[in-house]
Structure formats: C-alpha cells, structure tokens
Structure 1
Amino acid sequence: MVQIEYKLTEKEVYKGLVQNNSSRLITKILRGLGVFLMVVMVFTTTVNLVNGIYYFSMSYLFPLLMGVYLTFLSEITAKIQVPNLIKTKNPFVQEVKVRMDGNGFRMKGESFSNFMEWEKFHSIVETADFFLVKPTEASANIMPKRAFTTEDVAEFRNLLEGVVGPKVKWK
C-alpha cells in the first residue's frame, strides 16, 4: 500500500495539464499538423521574399497563426485554465490524500472523495515530474513525484505490475 499527501502549486497544475494533454494521441496529431503548417508557411514566405513579392494577406497570416496555435495548443489551453482552477478551489489545488493498494485508487480532498478499481482506469503514465493516473484518455489525477519517497515509487510500480486493465507507460 502506498499513501501520499500533496497540494499542487500553480506551476505544477500548469505543468500537469500540459503533460496530460501531451500524452494524448489527438494532441500529438494536432501538434504535428501545426508544425507542418508553420514549416510550409515559413517556406512560402521565404520564397516570396526572395522573389521580391512583398504582398501579404490573410491567406498567409491565417495558416501561420493556425500552425502556431496547433503546435502550442496544450500550453495555451493550460495557461487559460489554471487561473480559473486556482480561483474556484478546484480539486486540482486542494490538499489531497491518496491511498493506492491492490484493490484500487482512493483519492480524498477537502471537497471530494473517490475510489476506483485499477481495472477501470484507462492508463497510468509516468512523466518527468508526475504520475498521471487517467480514468479516461482526456482526464487525469496528477500526482507529483515530489510526494513519493524512493520506496513509494518502487512499491507503486510493483503494485501496478499485477494490475490488469490500464495501460502503464513508465518513463
């Protein structure tokens, strides 16, 4: 059994949201599309400037801005969401107690308490700073690694080795 307590800082909420979004397939596809759009538009603009064409219209600006937006969608969305989450005392920013054992995952905060069996989770993803325990592909319980001792991390990994159901992605 692993028990941890933590309260996410504003910076951790931002990083956790970005890392959760970045772990999704649709985000990776949109980011690739955004990079492609930016490369095409920068190439087109460079060719036009070299050829002496200095006329720029929305047909140039819109795809370039769309490329930037799609490339940095996770960061932009998180930057907009975090102040509202902090202001509304969302469960993300509450003092949280987590208990994980062979039966499942229990999370308790100031205004919520939930329990879920491991088999019902979509995935568990380890990132550089967090463990993301994801009930669905789009949502995640963000647990900072700073709340875990070395023994807790080893026990958490051992615990999940015997679990059937969620996809587990270790760093």
Structure 2
Amino acid sequence: MTERLVAGDPAPTFTLPNATGGTTSLAEFAGRKVVVYFYPAASTPACTQQACDFRDSLASLKAAGYEVVGISPDPVAKLTTFAANQELPFPLLADEDHAVAEAYSAWGEKKNYGRTYEGLIRSTIVVDGDGRVAVAQYNIRAKGHVAKLRRDLKIDA
C-alpha cells in the first residue's frame, strides 16, 4: 500500500469504465470539487446505505459545489445493476484491478473476524478544483459517514 494521501497532495489522475458504459476521468472535474469515495462491493448492505446516503445528500453537496464519484473493484455490469436498483445519479466506476484504489491508498491490509487479507479500504477523498486533496478519510464507517463528511465540509442539509 502506498502512503496515505493528506491535504495538499496532488490527487492521482484516473480514467475508469463507468456504470453507463462509458468512461469517467478525474480530469472531467477540473475546476470543480469532487468527492471520490471508495467502497468494497456494490449491493452489499453497508455499501448500499453509503451510496443511498450520498444520493440523498447530493442536492446539498452540489449546492455547495461538490460532485460525487463512487469507485469499487466491481465489474461494470454489477455497477450498472446497483446504480439502477438504487437510482444513483452520480458516476460509479469499475476499478477491477484496484490500481486507482492503490494510488489513493484505499487498497491494503484488512482484518475481519480474525482473518487478515488484502482488500478495499472504505475511504473518501475530497479533491479541490485545482486537483489537490482537500480531505482524506480512511477506514470510515458507512453508517453516518455522509452526514459526518457534510459536517466536516460545513455543508448544511
């Protein structure tokens, strides 16, 4: 795992396939703030809750000038189903080889029920309009995360 990103670091660039059959790159958000969140698996309870929390908070995030992008190691087909089932209006990107997650330090050692393995670390990175990391949060909990992020960014409901 690479060293964790901190505020002021340049955000690693990426271009990944998205749930709608195209690609999405960080460069598309140049000049705008974007919340890039990494989640382990589409359609699981915690990841669904987190995605729906972003969906339900999208209007206030956009009003404050933020876009949202979700990235997981899932294949595009799974993301397409997830986005449709949950009516997610923001890009979901497939990082199947987890290269982008690794660049963002969102891939590494995890421990669960006494087992140690490599996997996606639930993380949120806020990138400012200049392409630099404004906020980097790792090992977050899905429940309540979006509300906490909005508080951290001083965004009202």
Greater share of helix residues, 1 or 2?
1
Larger Rg: 1
Identify which of structures 1 and 2 has the higher relative contact order when contacts are C-alpha pairs closer than 8 Å and 6+ apart. Answer: 2
Q: Bin the TM-score by the shorter chain.
A: under 0.3
Q: TM-score, normalised by structure 2?
A: 0.27
The normalised TM-score by structure 1 is 0.25
